[in-house]
Amino acid sequence: MAKTRSTNGGPVCPNGSPHSEAVEERTENKKRSRSQCPDQSPIKTRSPAKWRSPVGCTTNGDTCYGNGDSKISNGKPLCSPKSPRKRLSDQFSQRPKWNPRDPAQMQAVKEALHVATVPTNVACREDEQKRILEFCRTCIEQEKAGSLYVCGSPGTGKSLSVDKVKDLLAVWSKQVGFQSLDTLAINCTCLTDTSEIFSKILDKFHSRKKTSNGFSPLQHLQNLFSQKRQASSGKMMLIIVDEMDYLITKDCAVLHDLFMLTTFPFSRCILIGIANAIDLADRFLPKLESLNCKPVVITFRAYSKDQILKILQQRLMVLQFDVFQPLALEFCARKVAAASGDMRRALGVCRSAVEVLEAQLRDVARNQDIDIVMFDHMDIALSKAFKSAVVDTIQSLPQHQQIILCSLVKLFRQCKKNATTLGELNKSYSETCKFSQIPAVGTLEFTNMCKVLSDQGLLKLGQSREDKLKRVTLQIDSSDVTFAFKGIRFFQTCLV
């Protein structure tokens, strides 16, 4: 582990479509979590924890959070009687024991698990990094502009990998004797409006003083890349645009213009866009494709259980002692992989498990010495993390999506069943709206909202030719819905 990095938040641009509404909602959550989660740790954060993935305990059959029989037992080592656990605990290595009461050791553990601690190697992303590096090298060698679109769900190592490639590229161009690259990294959450991106690029690569008045920054850039005389003096430019989801507008004009910058005859831009939306490229790709300037798309898949485990182990390797019982670490990896494959979340859960152990040590009533995070500490940390993530997601939904969820829970409660059709749900939703004197949305919008809820993993929509016949089931525990609206009178009445 070497250095730590930091980032900051910014606004999001409006977009009317239901899908972009989902993206907006997610980016809103992103902003919220950025502003509401001040880091308590002395370590500087690069990107504060983002608990976005809604699906927690129900995505696959083998999840078992909050299992009530796994409480920390007074004064005894925490180990379940189940045999696999015992078997794995027998495999503990012979490394020195951790002393969690030693503040310096505790600090080192928390640092190793902190999202802001940049690892020396980005494990499990070798392939993706290689592809990005190769792409950039080819552009530099051929002195040709080009664009790349890196996408994938949160916490899959996109920003980290691109950042690493940026460093590798600088080393490589020095080694082979190429002129050094001009590099600009923009995090779109910092932009006050979407088109500000063009002034940022212009500021970096071409002094504004030299430009004539009357043109917008975009037009300046377009002129610059259209004329040989102006552009040829310049070096190759690497532009990294992170959190590109923030540039989504209804017509995707900014995104389109941005990628188009790489198509001008004398452009020297290597553009790397990073975003969560896998389908984002599809929105502007057809247009770019017709102009023969389609960006290369590299998708980062969610981390698997084995990958999460490997990354955690690698991050913990800098420590001289064992911090986690192997089974505890594996438990974390399995649950996080099943829910989202988000490394940020895995690190957060591990830190939280360490804190559970810390709290236990502070409890003077329990005069015990624990020198390892056990399965049951991890169990508690996982329950906390996943429970609150679902509830947070429900609480941050737009009002009509919340009403839909309430109507579904109410319907299931009244009919004592756990599946219905979209048509039935629409009826229940309309009745709830009528009862609450809120104008209901039309059928098309209702269906789109259900699709958004389905994308978020809150409900599941079956297949049917007719929308109204699609089967609807809840993907989360109905008690999470009730819990999310506890104390809000409007929803309490909806749920009656």
List the interface residues with ligand ATP, window 397-416 (CB under 6 A): none
Does residue 110 touch ligand ATP according to CB under 6 A? no
Number of residues that bind Mg ion (CB under 5 A): 1
- The 10 Å Cβ neighbour count of residue 15 is 16
Residue 19: exposure state from Cβ atoms within 10 A (0-12, 13-18, ≥19): middle
**Shortest distance, position 150 Cβ to Mg ion, whole Å:** 9
Does residue 276 touch Mg ion according to CB under 5 A? no
Among ligand ATP, Mg ion, none, residue 125 binds (CB under 5-8 Å by kind): ligand ATP
Position among 9, 10, 146, 154 found at the interface with ligand ATP (CB under 6 A): 154
Binding characters for ligand ATP, 264-283, by CB under 6 A (x = yes): ------------x-------
H helices of 55-157, in order, are: 83-89, 103-112, 126-142
Rounded-to-integer distance, Cα 421 and Cα 447, Å: 11
Q: How far apart are the first and last CA of the chain?
A: 53
Position among 136, 148, 160, 349 found at the interface with ligand ATP (CB under 6 A): 160
Task: Name which of 284, 379, 374, 312 is nearest 155 in CA terms.
Answer: 312
**Shortest distance, position 454 Cβ to Mg ion, whole Å:** 25
Do 342 and 336 touch, CB atoms closer than 8 A? yes
**Shortest distance, position 383 Cβ to Mg ion, whole Å:** 27
Task: Name which of 496, 411, 492, 397 is nearest 449 in CA terms.
Answer: 397
Residue 376 CA to chain centroid, in angstroms?
A: 27
The residue sitting closest to ligand ATP, measured at its beta carbon, is 157
456: which residues sit within 8 A by CB, 6+ positions away? 22, 54, 393
**Shortest distance, position 383 Cβ to ligand ATP, whole Å:** 22
Nearer to Mg ion, 79 or 278 (CB): 278
Place of tokens 């494709």: 289
Does residue 344 touch ligand ATP according to CB under 6 A? yes
Position among 85, 125, 206, 470 found at the interface with ligand ATP (CB under 6 A): 125
* Residue 81 vs residues 93, 131, 331, 332, 375: alpha-carbon distances, Å: 21, 47, 16, 19, 11
List the interface residues with ligand ATP, window 363-382 (CB under 6 A): none
Q: Which stretch binds ligand ATP (CB under 6 A): 31-39, 152-160, 182-190, 486-494?
A: 152-160
Binding characters for ligand ATP, 324-343, by CB under 6 A (x = yes): -------------------x
Helix (H) or strand (E) segment spanning residue 300: strand 296-300
**Shortest distance, position 51 Cβ to ligand ATP, whole Å:** 11
Nearer to Mg ion, 183 or 443 (CB): 183
Rounded-to-integer distance, Cα 496 and Cα 489, Å: 11
Position among 153, 159, 276, 428 found at the interface with Mg ion (CB under 5 A): 159
H helices of 124-263, in order, are: 126-142, 158-176, 196-205, 217-224, 228-232, 253-260
Task: Name which of 229, 304, 292, 302 is nearest 262 in CA terms.
Answer: 292
Rounded-to-integer distance, Cα 438 and Cα 481, Å: 20
Return the C-alpha torsion angle 432, 433, 437, 442, nearest 10.
-160
Position among 43, 79, 88, 123 found at the interface with ligand ATP (CB under 6 A): 123
H helices of 399-475, in order, are: 399-415, 422-435, 443-455
Nearer to ligand ATP, 277 or 474 (CB): 277
In the structure encoding, which two tokens stand for residue 39, read together? 């880091």
Nearer to Mg ion, 246 or 429 (CB): 246
Position among 20, 27, 29, 47 found at the interface with ligand ATP (CB under 6 A): 47
Place of tokens 């007074």: 74
Nearer to ligand ATP, 302 or 411 (CB): 302
Helix (H) or strand (E) segment spanning residue 349: helix 343-362
**Shortest distance, position 484 Cβ to ligand ATP, whole Å:** 23
Number of residues that bind ligand ATP (CB under 6 A): 22
Do 110 and 358 touch, CB atoms closer than 8 A? no
In the structure encoding, which two tokens stand for residue 404, read together? 């839909």
Q: Which stretch binds ligand ATP (CB under 6 A): 116-124, 133-141, 219-227, 425-433?
A: 116-124
Nearer to Mg ion, 159 or 194 (CB): 159
Strand order in the sheet with 237-242: 182-187, 237-242, 269-275, 146-152, 296-300
Written as one letter, the residue type at 452 is V
Position among 100, 157, 348, 457 found at the interface with ligand ATP (CB under 6 A): 157
Nearer to ligand ATP, 153 or 401 (CB): 153
Nearer to Mg ion, 279 or 363 (CB): 279
Position among 58, 89, 159, 393 found at the interface with ligand ATP (CB under 6 A): 159
Q: Which stretch binds Mg ion (CB under 5 A): 159-167, 168-176, 284-292, 397-405?
A: 159-167
Position among 18, 19, 63, 119 found at the interface with ligand ATP (CB under 6 A): 119
Which residues contact ligand ATP (rule: CB under 6 A)?
46-47, 50, 115, 119, 122-125, 152, 154-160, 276, 311, 315, 343-344
Q: Which chain residues interact with Mg ion by CB under 5 A?
A: 159
